[in-house]
Amino acid sequence: MADLLPTPYELEVPDLSLIPDEPPAAILYQHKVKMRTAVRTLWDHREIIYTLAERDFRAQYKQATLGVMWAVLSPVATLVIFVAVFSRVKQFPTQGIPYALYAFVGIMCWNFFASSLGNGGNSLLSNKALLAKTQFPRECFPLETMLVNALNTVISFIPLALLFVIFGRAPALATVWVPLFMLIEVLFAAGLTLAVSSTIIQMRDLQQVLPIIISLGIFVTPVIWPFSFIPTNFHLFGGTHLAHHWVGGITVNLQVVYGLLNPLGPVIASIRQTMLLGQAPSWAPLIAAVVGACGYLFFGYRIFKRFEVNFADIA
């Protein structure tokens, strides 16, 4: 029972002259977070992600007269512009698919990616007040922003369905694979968003550069052009074509290389192949995309965890 009694407190006045100028090297703090622990902690806090996403989603439409209707209306408006514009401009070969439909699939995927990166990249800065005062895992902010964007993307399936109706088509049976392709995109976007958001805090220059990169990205990614524009066998190191014999050089499947670097390409291509054409996706680039996306996620998360040590100090 003795330890239940209140301990008498002694007044302690430490000798300040004994405190060195610098801490001994032995006790310096090393911020090491095991990936497994980090993921488990994040999972324990998943409710916070939902709640923050709900906050953003609600706040987005709070004082608008039409409210949540806008979530549906704005993609429909994009769609109208699409049909109007793309039925007049020079079109890329689409294997008989109406170009508006063909491009819309690309734009839908791109919008999710671009808004995740754009908003998610800035999410730590825009949540500065919470970042400096509360303690849950910091990944919640970029991931929460992505969740909101995912929700908006799901809503944009409504105008996509309308497009199918307008052009009198039906999505192929292979559409059931689409969620899987979307998952690859989510992994990729999450990895990049985590890396960018944590880097932006350290180096605000990136905040200015990011929109430029994103607006360039739409042309680098097969959003409005077909993925098949990228050659499958490309001769490196001066390989010459002599009567069907390769002399020297190496042949590279550029689609695979592209998929590793930008998993979004094969993702969009695969969605088009399955949903619009009812074909099987080209596996090689798709597998490359999976590997690439996982790599982005792994290293993105590592970078984030490494940088998080001083978020609250410099945000």
Partner 1 sequence: MPTLPDGSIRVEHVWKKFRSDKTVPLFYEQMVRLRRSVGTRGKSGYRWVLKDVNFDVQPGESMALIGVNGSGKTTLLKILSQVTFQSAGSCTVQGRIGALLSVTSGLHPDLSGRENVFLYGAVLGMGRADIRRKFDTIVEFAELTDAIDRQVKFYSMGMQMRLGFSIAAFLEPDVLLVDEVLAVGDANFQQKCLQRIGEIVREGTTLLYVSHDLASVEASCDRAVWLSDSMVRAQGPTAEVVTMYRTAVEQHSALLTTKEGTVEVLKAELRATDGGQLRSECEAEVRLTLKAPEEVMAGFYLGISQGTAFPMFVIDHQTTMPAGEFEVVCKLGYLPLPKGHYSLWTAITGHPRGTKDPYLPWQPLLSFEAFGPDRMDPPEGVMALSPVYVGAQWQIH
From CA 144, how far away is CA 53, in angstroms rounded?
5
Under the binding rule (CB under 8 A), the answer on residue 181 touching partner 1 is: no
Min dist. Cβ of residue 133 to partner 1 (A): 4
Q: Which is nearer to partner 1, 10 or 245 (CB)?
A: 10
**271: nearest Cα among 190, 176, 188, 189:** 176
Q: Which of 1, 14, 36, 88 binds partner 1 (CB under 8 A)?
A: 14
Q: Does 40 bind partner 1 (CB under 8 A)?
A: no
Q: What is the DSSP string of 293-314?
A: HHHHHHHHHHHHHHHGGGHHHH
Sole binder of partner 1 in the list 5, 9, 34, 90 (CB under 8 A): 9
Q: Is 96 in the site for partner 1 (CB under 8 A)?
A: no
* Residue 269 structure tokens: 């291509």
Q: How far is CA 217 from CA 61, 261, 264, in A?
A: 28, 12, 10
Interface with partner 1 in residues 44-63 (CB under 8 A): 47-48, 51-52, 54-55, 58-59, 62-63
Q: Pick one of 87, 134, 233, 240: the residue that binds partner 1 (CB under 8 A).
A: 134
Interface of this chain with partner 1, residues 136 to 175, rule: CB under 8 A: 136
Closest by CA position to 199, among listed 290, 299, 49, 56 = 299
Cα torsion 194, 39, 188, 294 to 10°: value is: 130
How crowded is residue 153: how many other Cβ atoms within 10 Å of its Cβ?
21
Residues that bind partner 1 (rule: CB under 8 A) add up to a total of 42
* Other residues' Cβ atoms within 10 Å of the Cβ of residue 130: 16
What does the alpha-carbon distance between residue 223 and residue 279 come to, in Å, rounded to a whole number? Answer: 19
Query: For residue 139, which of 307, 262, 264, 314 has the smallest C-alpha distance?
Result: 307
**Footprint (CB under 8 A) of partner 1, residues 61-90:** 62-63
Q: Examine residue 43 and tell whether it contacts partner 1 (CB under 8 A).
A: no
* Residues 196-235 close enough to bind partner 1 by CB under 8 A: 203-204
Cα R_g (the chain), whole angstroms: 25
The residue whose two tokens read 């964007």 is 149
Q: Which range in 16-24, 182-190, 234-242, 277-285 contacts partner 1 by CB under 8 A?
A: 16-24
Shortest Å, Cβ 137 to partner 1: 10
The reply to whether 34 sits near partner 1 by the rule CB under 8 A is no
Q: Which two tokens stand for residue 128?
A: 């500065």
Sole binder of partner 1 in the list 43, 168, 243, 313 (CB under 8 A)? 313
- Applying CB under 8 A, the residues found at the interface with partner 1 are 6-7, 9-14, 16, 19-20, 23-24, 27-29, 31, 47-48, 51-52, 54-55, 58-59, 62-63, 129-130, 132-136, 203-204, 309-314
